[in-house]
Amino acid sequence: MAYRWGMAVDLDKCTGCEACVTACHAENNIPTVGSQQAARGRAMHWIRVERYYEGNFPDVRVKFRPVLCQQCDNAPCEAVCPTYAAHQNEDGLNAQVYNRCIGTRYCANACSYNVRFFNFFNPEWVKPLNLQLNPDVSIREVGVMEKCTFCVQRIKAAKITAKAEDRGLVDGVLQPACAQACPTTALIFGDLNDPNSRVARLSHSPRGSKLLEDLGAEPKITYLDKQPWHEPDTY
Amino acid sequence: MAFPRRKAAGAWPYWALAFLFVVTMATAACEFASPGQPSGAADRSRWGTPAVFTPAHATAGDAIKSFFDSRPDTVAQPFDFSHQIHLSKGAVCTDCHTGVEQGPRAGLPNVNTCMICHSQIATDRPLIQQLTKMQEQGLDLNWNRVYDYQPQAHVRFNHAPHIRAKVACSTCHGNQAEQTVARRAVNMTMSFCVNCHKEKQASNDCLTCHY
Protein backbone atom coordinates (compact mmCIF):
# COMPACT_ATOMS: atom_id res chain seq x y z
CA MET A 1 0.00 0.00 0.00
CA ALA A 2 1.21 3.45 -0.78
CA TYR A 3 2.28 5.73 1.98
CA ARG A 4 0.76 9.07 2.72
CA TRP A 5 3.20 11.17 4.67
CA GLY A 6 1.87 13.65 7.14
CA MET A 7 2.79 15.46 10.27
CA ALA A 8 1.23 16.57 13.53
CA VAL A 9 2.58 19.65 15.28
CA ASP A 10 1.83 19.92 18.99
CA LEU A 11 1.79 23.65 19.63
CA ASP A 12 1.51 23.11 23.37
CA LYS A 13 4.88 21.42 23.29
CA CYS A 14 6.69 23.84 21.00
CA THR A 15 9.08 26.09 22.91
CA GLY A 16 10.18 28.09 19.88
CA CYS A 17 13.80 27.00 20.21
CA GLU A 18 14.25 26.87 16.42
CA ALA A 19 16.25 23.65 16.54
CA CYS A 20 14.04 22.45 13.68
CA VAL A 21 15.07 25.42 11.57
CA THR A 22 18.76 24.78 12.17
CA ALA A 23 18.41 21.06 11.56
CA CYS A 24 16.52 21.70 8.34
CA HIS A 25 19.21 24.07 7.05
CA ALA A 26 21.91 21.53 7.82
CA GLU A 27 20.07 18.56 6.38
CA ASN A 28 18.83 20.11 3.18
CA ASN A 29 21.76 22.32 2.15
CA ILE A 30 19.69 25.46 2.42
CA PRO A 31 21.81 28.50 1.71
CA THR A 32 21.72 31.74 3.64
CA VAL A 33 21.58 35.00 1.74
CA GLY A 34 22.78 37.57 4.26
CA SER A 35 20.92 40.28 6.13
CA GLN A 36 20.51 42.68 3.20
CA GLN A 37 18.87 40.15 0.92
CA ALA A 38 16.85 38.69 3.79
CA ALA A 39 15.41 42.16 4.32
CA ARG A 40 14.28 42.02 0.69
CA GLY A 41 12.40 38.82 1.40
CA ARG A 42 14.88 36.48 -0.22
CA ALA A 43 15.77 34.44 2.85
CA MET A 44 15.09 30.74 2.55
CA HIS A 45 13.82 28.72 5.49
CA TRP A 46 11.92 25.56 4.61
CA ILE A 47 10.58 25.64 8.15
CA ARG A 48 10.12 28.77 10.24
CA VAL A 49 8.78 29.41 13.72
CA GLU A 50 6.10 32.07 13.80
CA ARG A 51 5.50 33.97 17.01
CA TYR A 52 2.12 35.14 18.23
CA TYR A 53 1.65 37.28 21.31
CA GLU A 54 -1.59 36.93 23.18
CA GLY A 55 -3.02 38.82 26.15
CA ASN A 56 -2.26 42.24 27.57
CA PHE A 57 0.77 43.28 29.54
CA PRO A 58 1.81 41.98 32.04
CA ASP A 59 -0.23 38.88 31.32
CA VAL A 60 1.34 38.23 27.93
CA ARG A 61 1.98 34.83 26.53
CA VAL A 62 3.88 34.04 23.40
CA LYS A 63 2.72 31.26 21.18
CA PHE A 64 4.98 29.52 18.69
CA ARG A 65 3.91 27.90 15.48
CA PRO A 66 6.38 26.06 13.25
CA VAL A 67 5.30 26.54 9.64
CA LEU A 68 6.62 24.31 6.92
CA CYS A 69 5.20 23.11 3.61
CA GLN A 70 1.75 21.81 4.44
CA GLN A 71 1.98 19.11 1.75
CA CYS A 72 -1.56 19.96 0.63
CA ASP A 73 -3.73 17.33 -1.00
CA ASN A 74 -5.32 20.03 -3.09
CA ALA A 75 -2.22 22.12 -3.53
CA PRO A 76 -2.60 25.55 -5.11
CA CYS A 77 1.07 25.58 -6.09
CA GLU A 78 0.73 22.54 -8.32
CA ALA A 79 -2.14 23.78 -10.41
CA VAL A 80 -0.28 26.90 -11.53
CA CYS A 81 3.05 25.34 -12.48
CA PRO A 82 3.45 25.51 -16.28
CA THR A 83 6.12 22.80 -16.36
CA TYR A 84 4.73 20.32 -13.80
CA ALA A 85 7.82 20.92 -11.67
CA ALA A 86 5.46 21.08 -8.71
CA HIS A 87 3.36 17.96 -8.60
CA GLN A 88 1.91 15.43 -6.21
CA ASN A 89 3.78 12.14 -6.06
CA GLU A 90 2.37 8.73 -5.25
CA ASP A 91 3.11 9.12 -1.53
CA GLY A 92 1.18 12.37 -1.37
CA LEU A 93 4.26 14.55 -1.22
CA ASN A 94 4.23 17.87 -2.99
CA ALA A 95 7.29 17.22 -5.07
CA GLN A 96 9.42 19.95 -6.54
CA VAL A 97 11.53 18.82 -9.47
CA TYR A 98 14.38 21.27 -9.80
CA ASN A 99 15.25 20.22 -13.34
CA ARG A 100 11.83 21.12 -14.59
CA CYS A 101 11.55 24.41 -12.76
CA ILE A 102 11.97 27.42 -15.01
CA GLY A 103 11.56 29.94 -12.24
CA THR A 104 8.23 31.53 -13.04
CA ARG A 105 7.55 31.80 -9.29
CA TYR A 106 3.84 31.27 -9.90
CA CYS A 107 3.82 28.56 -7.22
CA ALA A 108 5.25 30.87 -4.58
CA ASN A 109 2.54 33.37 -5.38
CA ALA A 110 -0.17 30.74 -5.28
CA CYS A 111 1.01 29.20 -2.01
CA SER A 112 -1.15 30.33 0.87
CA TYR A 113 1.44 29.45 3.49
CA ASN A 114 4.46 31.26 2.07
CA VAL A 115 6.67 28.20 2.25
CA ARG A 116 8.14 28.19 -1.24
CA PHE A 117 11.44 29.89 -1.85
CA PHE A 118 13.12 31.13 -4.95
CA ASN A 119 16.87 30.90 -5.48
CA PHE A 120 17.80 34.42 -6.36
CA PHE A 121 21.51 33.50 -6.35
CA ASN A 122 23.75 30.57 -6.87
CA PRO A 123 24.37 29.34 -3.36
CA GLU A 124 27.82 29.60 -1.84
CA TRP A 125 29.06 28.44 1.50
CA VAL A 126 31.84 30.20 3.33
CA LYS A 127 34.69 27.78 4.04
CA PRO A 128 34.66 25.46 5.97
CA LEU A 129 30.85 25.33 5.84
CA ASN A 130 31.09 23.77 2.37
CA LEU A 131 32.37 20.63 4.05
CA GLN A 132 29.16 20.05 5.98
CA LEU A 133 26.90 19.83 2.93
CA ASN A 134 24.65 16.79 2.80
CA PRO A 135 25.73 14.67 -0.17
CA ASP A 136 22.26 13.10 -0.41
CA VAL A 137 20.57 16.40 -1.23
CA SER A 138 21.17 18.33 -4.41
CA ILE A 139 22.28 21.92 -4.35
CA ARG A 140 19.74 24.10 -6.05
CA GLU A 141 21.07 26.64 -8.49
CA VAL A 142 19.93 30.13 -9.30
CA GLY A 143 16.50 30.42 -10.87
CA VAL A 144 14.72 27.45 -9.35
CA MET A 145 12.11 27.17 -6.67
CA GLU A 146 12.63 25.03 -3.61
CA LYS A 147 10.57 23.95 -0.64
CA CYS A 148 10.28 21.47 2.20
CA THR A 149 10.45 17.91 0.88
CA PHE A 150 9.64 16.15 4.16
CA CYS A 151 13.30 15.07 3.87
CA VAL A 152 12.55 12.86 0.88
CA GLN A 153 16.16 11.63 0.91
CA ARG A 154 15.51 10.05 4.31
CA ILE A 155 12.20 8.58 3.14
CA LYS A 156 13.96 7.09 0.12
CA ALA A 157 16.80 5.68 2.21
CA ALA A 158 14.39 4.17 4.73
CA LYS A 159 12.29 2.59 1.99
CA ILE A 160 15.36 1.08 0.32
CA THR A 161 16.63 -0.35 3.61
CA ALA A 162 13.21 -1.71 4.48
CA LYS A 163 12.91 -3.39 1.10
CA ALA A 164 16.40 -4.87 1.41
CA GLU A 165 15.50 -6.32 4.80
CA ASP A 166 12.07 -7.35 3.52
CA ARG A 167 10.02 -5.56 6.14
CA GLY A 168 7.71 -2.57 6.41
CA LEU A 169 8.63 0.81 7.79
CA VAL A 170 8.37 1.08 11.56
CA ASP A 171 6.29 4.02 12.71
CA GLY A 172 8.35 6.74 14.38
CA VAL A 173 11.74 5.52 13.20
CA LEU A 174 11.75 7.46 9.96
CA GLN A 175 11.83 11.15 10.80
CA PRO A 176 12.61 14.31 8.90
CA ALA A 177 15.42 16.44 10.30
CA CYS A 178 13.06 18.90 12.02
CA ALA A 179 11.18 16.19 13.90
CA GLN A 180 14.40 14.47 14.84
CA ALA A 181 15.89 17.68 16.21
CA CYS A 182 12.82 18.73 18.17
CA PRO A 183 13.76 18.49 21.87
CA THR A 184 10.13 18.37 23.03
CA THR A 185 8.92 16.04 20.25
CA ALA A 186 6.39 18.63 19.16
CA LEU A 187 6.72 17.48 15.56
CA ILE A 188 5.42 13.99 14.86
CA PHE A 189 5.92 12.55 11.41
CA GLY A 190 4.49 9.38 9.95
CA ASP A 191 2.20 7.56 7.57
CA LEU A 192 -1.40 8.78 7.53
CA ASN A 193 -2.52 5.64 5.70
CA ASP A 194 -1.55 3.49 8.67
CA PRO A 195 -4.44 3.92 11.15
CA ASN A 196 -2.23 2.85 14.06
CA SER A 197 0.55 5.34 13.45
CA ARG A 198 0.98 8.14 15.96
CA VAL A 199 0.45 10.83 13.37
CA ALA A 200 -2.77 9.27 12.08
CA ARG A 201 -4.21 9.10 15.59
CA LEU A 202 -3.10 12.65 16.42
CA SER A 203 -4.58 14.10 13.24
CA HIS A 204 -8.00 12.92 14.40
CA SER A 205 -7.50 14.54 17.80
CA PRO A 206 -10.17 17.05 18.91
CA ARG A 207 -7.28 19.42 19.60
CA GLY A 208 -6.33 19.37 15.95
CA SER A 209 -6.85 22.01 13.29
CA LYS A 210 -5.35 22.78 9.92
CA LEU A 211 -3.65 25.98 8.96
CA LEU A 212 -5.98 28.29 6.98
CA GLU A 213 -8.38 25.38 6.74
CA ASP A 214 -11.13 27.37 5.02
CA LEU A 215 -9.01 27.83 1.91
CA GLY A 216 -9.63 24.20 1.03
CA ALA A 217 -6.05 23.26 0.26
CA GLU A 218 -6.43 20.20 2.50
CA PRO A 219 -3.05 20.27 4.21
CA LYS A 220 -1.55 17.07 5.59
CA ILE A 221 -0.13 18.86 8.63
CA THR A 222 -2.32 19.04 11.71
CA TYR A 223 -1.70 21.60 14.43
CA LEU A 224 -2.64 20.44 17.91
CA ASP A 225 -3.57 23.11 20.39
CA LYS A 226 -5.17 23.16 23.81
CA GLN A 227 -8.44 24.96 23.25
CA PRO A 228 -8.80 27.59 24.50
CA TRP A 229 -5.22 27.76 25.66
CA HIS A 230 -5.50 30.98 27.68
CA GLU A 231 -8.09 29.89 30.22
CA PRO A 232 -6.61 30.51 33.68
CA ASP A 233 -6.93 26.89 34.77
CA THR A 234 -4.78 25.68 31.93
CA TYR A 235 -1.53 27.11 33.28
CA MET B 1 -15.23 62.39 -40.53
CA ALA B 2 -12.74 59.62 -40.76
CA PHE B 3 -10.77 58.56 -37.69
CA PRO B 4 -7.08 59.20 -37.96
CA ARG B 5 -5.49 55.97 -38.99
CA ARG B 6 -2.83 54.46 -36.74
CA LYS B 7 0.43 53.86 -38.51
CA ALA B 8 0.77 50.30 -39.71
CA ALA B 9 3.41 48.03 -38.21
CA GLY B 10 5.17 48.13 -41.54
CA ALA B 11 6.35 51.64 -40.69
CA TRP B 12 9.05 50.03 -38.51
CA PRO B 13 11.86 48.81 -40.73
CA TYR B 14 12.64 45.13 -40.22
CA TRP B 15 16.24 45.74 -39.19
CA ALA B 16 15.03 48.00 -36.36
CA LEU B 17 12.61 45.32 -35.13
CA ALA B 18 15.36 42.72 -35.25
CA PHE B 19 17.71 45.02 -33.37
CA LEU B 20 15.09 45.71 -30.69
CA PHE B 21 14.50 41.98 -30.30
CA VAL B 22 18.20 41.25 -29.84
CA VAL B 23 18.62 44.03 -27.28
CA THR B 24 15.56 42.88 -25.34
CA MET B 25 16.69 39.26 -25.26
CA ALA B 26 20.23 40.20 -24.23
CA THR B 27 18.91 42.37 -21.41
CA ALA B 28 16.61 39.61 -20.27
CA ALA B 29 19.46 37.11 -20.35
CA CYS B 30 21.67 39.35 -18.24
CA GLU B 31 18.86 39.93 -15.80
CA PHE B 32 18.30 36.21 -15.47
CA ALA B 33 21.99 35.46 -15.09
CA SER B 34 22.44 37.91 -12.26
CA PRO B 35 19.14 39.31 -11.07
CA GLY B 36 19.16 42.84 -9.81
CA GLN B 37 22.33 43.63 -11.71
CA PRO B 38 22.64 46.37 -14.27
CA SER B 39 22.95 44.78 -17.68
CA GLY B 40 26.39 44.23 -19.11
CA ALA B 41 27.74 43.32 -15.69
CA ALA B 42 31.10 41.65 -15.15
CA ASP B 43 31.76 37.89 -15.05
CA ARG B 44 30.89 37.68 -11.41
CA SER B 45 27.77 38.97 -9.81
CA ARG B 46 27.53 41.33 -6.85
CA TRP B 47 27.55 38.37 -4.51
CA GLY B 48 30.72 36.91 -5.94
CA THR B 49 28.93 34.04 -7.58
CA PRO B 50 29.98 33.06 -11.09
CA ALA B 51 27.85 34.27 -13.94
CA VAL B 52 25.64 31.73 -15.67
CA PHE B 53 24.31 31.35 -19.17
CA THR B 54 21.33 29.31 -18.06
CA PRO B 55 20.83 27.85 -14.61
CA ALA B 56 22.20 24.54 -15.85
CA HIS B 57 25.12 25.81 -17.91
CA ALA B 58 27.84 28.26 -17.10
CA THR B 59 28.53 29.34 -20.66
CA ALA B 60 26.88 29.13 -24.06
CA GLY B 61 29.58 26.65 -25.09
CA ASP B 62 28.67 24.33 -22.24
CA ALA B 63 25.03 24.46 -23.25
CA ILE B 64 25.81 23.60 -26.87
CA LYS B 65 28.13 20.75 -25.84
CA SER B 66 25.50 19.40 -23.52
CA PHE B 67 22.80 19.67 -26.18
CA PHE B 68 24.79 17.66 -28.68
CA ASP B 69 26.06 15.43 -25.88
CA SER B 70 29.62 15.84 -27.07
CA ARG B 71 31.99 14.71 -24.43
CA PRO B 72 34.81 12.20 -24.69
CA ASP B 73 34.01 8.59 -23.80
CA THR B 74 37.41 8.05 -22.30
CA VAL B 75 38.71 9.67 -19.18
CA ALA B 76 42.42 9.92 -18.43
CA GLN B 77 43.34 7.98 -15.31
CA PRO B 78 46.36 8.39 -13.05
CA PHE B 79 47.22 4.72 -13.30
CA ASP B 80 47.26 2.36 -16.27
CA PHE B 81 44.75 -0.13 -14.90
CA SER B 82 43.22 -2.91 -16.99
CA HIS B 83 39.77 -4.30 -16.24
CA GLN B 84 40.29 -6.89 -18.98
CA ILE B 85 43.25 -8.58 -17.25
CA HIS B 86 41.57 -8.67 -13.86
CA LEU B 87 38.29 -10.08 -15.12
CA SER B 88 40.03 -12.69 -17.26
CA LYS B 89 41.84 -13.93 -14.13
CA GLY B 90 38.54 -14.50 -12.38
CA ALA B 91 38.19 -11.36 -10.31
CA VAL B 92 34.64 -10.03 -9.97
CA CYS B 93 33.42 -6.44 -9.80
CA THR B 94 32.58 -6.55 -6.08
CA ASP B 95 36.14 -7.55 -5.16
CA CYS B 96 37.32 -4.00 -5.71
CA HIS B 97 34.11 -1.95 -5.92
CA THR B 98 33.16 -3.07 -2.45
CA GLY B 99 30.44 -0.56 -1.65
CA VAL B 100 28.17 -1.55 -4.48
CA GLU B 101 25.99 -3.97 -2.51
CA GLN B 102 25.71 -1.84 0.58
CA GLY B 103 25.04 1.70 -0.45
CA PRO B 104 24.78 4.40 -3.06
CA ARG B 105 28.42 4.42 -4.10
CA ALA B 106 30.26 1.49 -5.62
CA GLY B 107 33.54 3.03 -4.60
CA LEU B 108 36.81 3.34 -6.45
CA PRO B 109 39.57 1.19 -4.95
CA ASN B 110 42.52 2.76 -3.18
CA VAL B 111 46.09 1.53 -3.09
CA ASN B 112 45.47 -0.63 -0.04
CA THR B 113 42.69 -2.50 -1.83
CA CYS B 114 45.06 -3.25 -4.71
CA MET B 115 47.74 -4.42 -2.29
CA ILE B 116 45.47 -6.99 -0.66
CA CYS B 117 46.23 -9.17 -3.67
CA HIS B 118 49.25 -7.51 -5.14
CA SER B 119 51.45 -7.87 -2.09
CA GLN B 120 51.59 -11.50 -3.28
CA ILE B 121 50.57 -11.52 -6.94
CA ALA B 122 52.59 -10.30 -9.91
CA THR B 123 55.01 -8.41 -7.75
CA ASP B 124 57.63 -8.46 -10.47
CA ARG B 125 55.68 -6.21 -12.86
CA PRO B 126 56.78 -2.58 -13.07
CA LEU B 127 53.23 -1.25 -12.57
CA ILE B 128 52.75 -3.30 -9.42
CA GLN B 129 56.12 -2.17 -8.14
CA GLN B 130 54.96 1.37 -8.73
CA LEU B 131 51.89 0.57 -6.59
CA THR B 132 54.02 -0.87 -3.81
CA LYS B 133 56.13 2.26 -3.82
CA MET B 134 52.99 4.40 -3.63
CA GLN B 135 51.76 2.50 -0.62
CA GLU B 136 55.12 2.85 1.11
CA GLN B 137 55.09 6.58 0.48
CA GLY B 138 51.51 6.87 1.71
CA LEU B 139 50.27 8.08 -1.67
CA ASP B 140 46.91 7.10 -3.11
CA LEU B 141 45.30 6.75 -6.49
CA ASN B 142 43.09 9.66 -7.34
CA TRP B 143 40.90 8.11 -9.98
CA ASN B 144 38.87 10.30 -12.25
CA ARG B 145 35.19 9.53 -12.48
CA VAL B 146 34.04 7.99 -15.73
CA TYR B 147 30.33 8.09 -15.07
CA ASP B 148 28.96 11.13 -13.37
CA TYR B 149 25.99 13.42 -13.43
CA GLN B 150 26.01 17.12 -13.90
CA PRO B 151 25.20 18.67 -10.54
CA GLN B 152 22.39 20.49 -12.33
CA ALA B 153 20.80 17.18 -13.27
CA HIS B 154 19.86 16.77 -9.61
CA VAL B 155 20.08 12.99 -9.96
CA ARG B 156 20.54 10.79 -6.91
CA PHE B 157 21.58 7.28 -7.76
CA ASN B 158 21.89 4.37 -5.34
CA HIS B 159 23.74 1.26 -6.51
CA ALA B 160 22.54 -1.17 -3.84
CA PRO B 161 18.84 -1.51 -4.79
CA HIS B 162 19.83 -2.00 -8.43
CA ILE B 163 22.19 -4.84 -7.52
CA ARG B 164 19.47 -6.39 -5.34
CA ALA B 165 17.05 -6.16 -8.28
CA LYS B 166 19.55 -8.28 -10.22
CA VAL B 167 20.54 -5.60 -12.70
CA ALA B 168 23.83 -6.72 -14.16
CA CYS B 169 26.75 -4.30 -13.87
CA SER B 170 27.17 -4.52 -17.64
CA THR B 171 23.67 -3.09 -18.22
CA CYS B 172 24.94 0.34 -17.30
CA HIS B 173 28.71 -0.01 -17.49
CA GLY B 174 29.16 -2.08 -20.62
CA ASN B 175 31.18 -5.25 -20.88
CA GLN B 176 34.19 -4.47 -18.74
CA ALA B 177 35.94 -7.65 -19.91
CA GLU B 178 36.50 -5.83 -23.20
CA GLN B 179 37.73 -2.64 -21.61
CA THR B 180 41.06 -1.74 -20.17
CA VAL B 181 40.59 1.53 -18.36
CA ALA B 182 36.85 2.01 -17.98
CA ARG B 183 35.19 4.21 -20.54
CA ARG B 184 31.66 5.44 -20.93
CA ALA B 185 30.18 2.50 -22.80
CA VAL B 186 26.56 3.38 -22.09
CA ASN B 187 25.14 6.83 -22.46
CA MET B 188 23.05 7.29 -19.35
CA THR B 189 20.32 9.53 -20.53
CA MET B 190 17.09 9.87 -18.64
CA SER B 191 15.28 7.69 -21.17
CA PHE B 192 17.84 4.95 -20.54
CA CYS B 193 16.88 4.92 -16.86
CA VAL B 194 13.16 5.39 -17.42
CA ASN B 195 12.85 2.59 -19.98
CA CYS B 196 14.50 0.09 -17.66
CA HIS B 197 12.33 1.24 -14.74
CA LYS B 198 9.27 0.70 -16.93
CA GLU B 199 10.41 -2.76 -17.93
CA LYS B 200 11.11 -3.82 -14.37
CA GLN B 201 7.99 -2.04 -13.07
CA ALA B 202 10.05 0.09 -10.75
CA SER B 203 8.76 3.47 -9.70
CA ASN B 204 8.92 6.17 -12.32
CA ASP B 205 7.99 8.94 -9.96
CA CYS B 206 10.24 12.00 -10.38
CA LEU B 207 11.24 11.82 -6.72
CA THR B 208 12.67 8.35 -7.29
CA CYS B 209 15.81 9.95 -8.69
CA HIS B 210 15.49 13.74 -8.61
CA TYR B 211 15.65 15.36 -5.20
> What is the per-residue pLDDT across A40-70, written as a single tens digit (0 to 9) for each?
999 999 999 999 998 888 888 888 999 999 9
Whether chain B has a CB inside 8 Å of the CB on A130: the answer is: no
- Phi/psi at B154 (nearest 5 deg)? 55, 40
- Smallest Cβ distance to B55: which of A93, A142, A152? A142
Burial bucket for residue B106 (CB in 10 Å: 0-12, 13-18, 19+): buried
Q: What pLDDT, in 10s, does the model give residues A87-119? A: 999 899 999 999 899 999 999 999 999 999 999
> Which 3 state secondary structure label does DSSP give B11?
helix
CB under 8 Å to B104, separation ≥6 — which residues?
A136, B156, B157, B158, B159, B160
Q: Which residue of B has its CA nearest to A156?
A: B208
Q: Of A229-233, B100-104, B174-178, where does the model show the most confidence? A: B100-104
Q: What is the pLDDT of residues A193-235, one digit of tens each?
A: 999 999 999 999 888 999 999 999 999 999 998 766 555 554 4
Provide the ipTM. Answer: 0.83
Chain B residue whose CA is closest to A163: B161
Residues of B in contact with A121 (CB under 8 A): 35, 45, 47, 49
Query: Between chains, do B160 and A160 touch, taking CB under 8 Å as contact?
Result: yes
Residues near B22 by beta carbon (within 8 Å), at least 6 away in sequence = none
User: B206 and A143: CB-CB below 8 Å?
Assistant: no
pLDDT in tens, B141-164: 889 888 878 777 899 999 999 999
A38 touches chain B (CB under 8 A): no
**Long-range contact list for B185-192, CB < 8 A, 24+ apart?**
B185/B73, B187/B69, B188/B147, B189/B69
Tens-place pLDDT, residues A129-147 = 889 999 899 999 888 999 9
Summary count for chain B: helices (H), strands (E): 9, 0
Q: Give me the pLDDT at residue A229, please.
A: 52
